């Protein structure tokens, strides 16, 4: 069992930056692939980025590539999402999710554990 708690969301102007954190419980966190997803009002939850358990590989949605960076600190059981050059269309609730696996999944059904989400609002 893994419990996930996101933090770091807030209100930021377009062009600004935020860093989200996903803190996990559990002693084998390094064996879990972690993904970030987001859901804007009236839209489906979509994939943002994912990272393998040892951090050696990452994958990004085209919409955030070059602006967002996913990383992890397994000693702290935490995954981060550094978001730069934010745009109003990045406004959404951001969720982290985990799966005991090494594959970088982009589809929601592959992830077994989810956090409660953190709101990110980007003003124009």
* 1 or 123, which is more confident: 123
Rg (CA), the chain: 13
pLDDT over 80 (residue 72): yes
Which pLDDT score, from 0 to 100, does residue 26 have? 79
* 41: Cβ contacts below 8 Å, ≥ 6 apart: none
Which pLDDT score, from 0 to 100, does residue 1 have? 83
- CB neighbourhood size of 123 (10 A): 11
Residue matched to tokens 């994958």 = 59
């Amino acid at each position: 069992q893994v419990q996930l708690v996101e933090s770091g969301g807030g209100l930021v102007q377009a062009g600004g930056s935020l860093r989200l954190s996903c803190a996990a419980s559990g002693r084998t966190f390094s064996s879990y692939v972690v993904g970030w997803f987001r859901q804007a009002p009236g839209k489906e939850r979509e994939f943002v980025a994912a990272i393998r358990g040892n951090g050696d590989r990452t994958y990004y949605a085209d919409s955030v590539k070059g602006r967002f960076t996913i990383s992890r600190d397994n000693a702290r059981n935490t995954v981060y999402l550094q978001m730069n050059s934010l745009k109003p269309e990045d406004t959404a609730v951001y969720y982290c999710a985990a799966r005991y696996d090494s594959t970088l999944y982009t589809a929601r059904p592959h992830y077994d554990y989810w956090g409660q989400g953190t709101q990110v609002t980007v003003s124009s």
